[in-house]
Amino acid sequence: MLCLGIETSCDETAVALVHDGRLLGQCLHSQEKLHALFGGVVPELASRGHLTALPVLLERLLERTGLTIRDVQVVAAARGPGLLGSLLVGMGMAKGLALSLGVPLVGVNHLHAHLLAAGLEGEIPFPALGLLVSGGHTQLYRITSPFQFDLLGRTLDDAAGEALDKSASMLNLPYPGGRHIDALAAGSEPNRSLFPRPYLDNRNLDFSFSGLKTAFSQHLAQRPDLRLPRLPDDAALARWSEDHPELGTVCASLNWSIAETLRTKVERALQDKTAYRAVIAAGGVAANTMLRSLLAETAQARGLALILPSPALCTDNAAMIAYSGWLLARNGWEHDQTVEALPRGKPIPWDYRPRSFPNPSTSP
């Protein structure tokens, strides 16, 4: 079964083709440079960007894979959560294609798709504990099958990626700054008492990262010399970090506080009575070096499989949407044309309907 996946939930426009669980190809256009000018994603510009990029990417994908649009047997698109205007562009295209091709339409939960993406690289053993860490979300899930996600905890305010990006912008690093903090931290030892590990003094599995951002800004108020004078290019950033070795320590310390907080809650979640077989970390922040190594320690100590999708599958992409769409369609689930796109903050219902397979006795 060949599934076309469309991703437009934030500032990445992407299309991908998955055939029987295998990725055939993906074309992706990032609007990162455009939004970096504004220090964050401008929703209106993002939607307009998706509208112009999508048809070009689709044509390129078909050319590269040597397929035609008529070969597509299922159309899947991210239905949320995300920026509403952006989601509507992808969903609108998916609805039009499904209708004109006469094939099933599947709206995909973007967060679940992040966690399932690893299935493209190897089999996921269930039940798995899923940690989703991105610019907009920080969540823990018990995942008992590709279709059964129980939310165990979530952030009460900022997401882990948001704390990294906002701290990075206080340093005058380009947006989104998470990967720059990660790169600057490389080779430096964290100072484990520099920043707090927030919201651990409780028994729950929720997170709160807004206080960490405040602690970071207070530290910079004492050390304004660490802040870059203006947005750097890569060469200027490398020179600045060579001249300011303490910057590496500060970035490593922030990285550690966030990663260790996430790890602590993962360990707490693993103590419930579910016989987990794996830990999955997904979303952009799962590309973080410190987080990957702390989770590796935890999984190894408990004899669990650690599933970390490759960095390209961690950040937003359409391969994960095509893969989730294929899993759902293969199990007979689809949406009708009234399926809604849902913005961040609204729960995403399980509102698939069982597919009505044509009755062989009435087929021509």
Enumerate binding residues for ligand KG4 (CB under 6 A): 10, 134-136, 161, 164-165, 176-179, 182, 283-285, 287-288, 315-316
Q: 277 CB contacts (<8 Å, ≥6 apart)? A: 125, 126, 127, 128, 304, 305
- In the complex, the smallest distance separating the C-beta of residue 179 from Zn ion, rounded to whole angstroms, is 15
Count, residues near Zn ion per rule CB under 5 A: 2
Nearer to ligand KG4, 177 or 325 (CB): 177
Give yes or no for a contact between 126 and 118, defined as CB atoms under 8 angstroms apart. Answer: no
- In the complex, the smallest distance separating the C-beta of residue 23 from Zn ion, rounded to whole angstroms, is 17
**Which of Zn ion, ligand KG4, none lies near 80, with the C-beta cut-off 5 to 8 A by kind?**
none
Give yes or no for a contact between 78 and 8, defined as CB atoms under 8 angstroms apart. Answer: yes
**Which of ligand KG4, Zn ion, none lies near 5, with the C-beta cut-off 5 to 8 A by kind?**
none
**Which of Zn ion, ligand KG4, none lies near 178, with the C-beta cut-off 5 to 8 A by kind?**
ligand KG4
Handedness of CA 80, 85, 90, 96 (dihedral sign): positive
Nearer to Zn ion, 207 or 240 (CB): 207
- In the complex, the smallest distance separating the C-beta of residue 104 from ligand KG4, rounded to whole angstroms, is 26
Nearer to Zn ion, 134 or 324 (CB): 134
Nearer to ligand KG4, 75 or 111 (CB): 111
Helices (H) and strands (E) in the chain, counts: 12, 12
Beta strand 353-354 with 333-334: parallel, antiparallel or unpaired? Answer: antiparallel
Nearer to ligand KG4, 153 or 161 (CB): 161
- In the complex, the smallest distance separating the C-beta of residue 182 from ligand KG4, rounded to whole angstroms, is 4
Q: Does 316 bind Zn ion (CB under 5 A)?
A: yes
Give yes or no for a contact between 198 and 265, defined as CB atoms under 8 angstroms apart. Answer: no
Q: 37-53 burial, b for 16+ CB within 10 Å, e for fewer?
A: eeeebbbebbbebbbeb
CA distances from 267 to 140, 203, 305 (A): 11, 12, 14
Q: Closest Cα to residue 53, out of 41, 65, 61, 64?
A: 61
Please list every residue from 111 through 140 that binds Zn ion, using CB under 5 A. Answer: 134
The overall longest dimension of the chain from CA atoms, in Å, is 78
CA distance 90 to 15: 10
CA dihedral of residues 328, 312, 50, 85 (deg, nearest 10) = 60
Give yes or no for a contact between 35 and 46, defined as CB atoms under 8 angstroms apart. Answer: yes
Query: Per CB under 5 A, which region of 140-148, 217-225, 242-250, 312-320 contacts Zn ion?
Result: 312-320
Nearer to ligand KG4, 98 or 111 (CB): 111
Nearer to ligand KG4, 175 or 240 (CB): 175
DSSP state letter for 227: S
- In the complex, the smallest distance separating the C-beta of residue 132 from ligand KG4, rounded to whole angstroms, is 8
Q: Does 13 bind Zn ion (CB under 5 A)?
A: no
**Which of ligand KG4, Zn ion, none lies near 198, with the C-beta cut-off 5 to 8 A by kind?**
none
**Which of Zn ion, ligand KG4, none lies near 179, with the C-beta cut-off 5 to 8 A by kind?**
ligand KG4
Nearer to ligand KG4, 13 or 315 (CB): 315
CA distance 67 to 250: 50
- In the complex, the smallest distance separating the C-beta of residue 148 from ligand KG4, rounded to whole angstroms, is 22
7 beta partners: 14
Q: Does 7 bind Zn ion (CB under 5 A)?
A: no
Residue 108, classified by CB atoms within 10 Å of its CB into exposed (0-12), middle (13-18) or buried (19+), is buried
- In the complex, the smallest distance separating the C-beta of residue 316 from Zn ion, rounded to whole angstroms, is 4
**Which of ligand KG4, Zn ion, none lies near 164, with the C-beta cut-off 5 to 8 A by kind?**
ligand KG4
- In the complex, the smallest distance separating the C-beta of residue 13 from ligand KG4, rounded to whole angstroms, is 13
**Residues found near Zn ion in the complex (CB under 5 A):** 134, 316
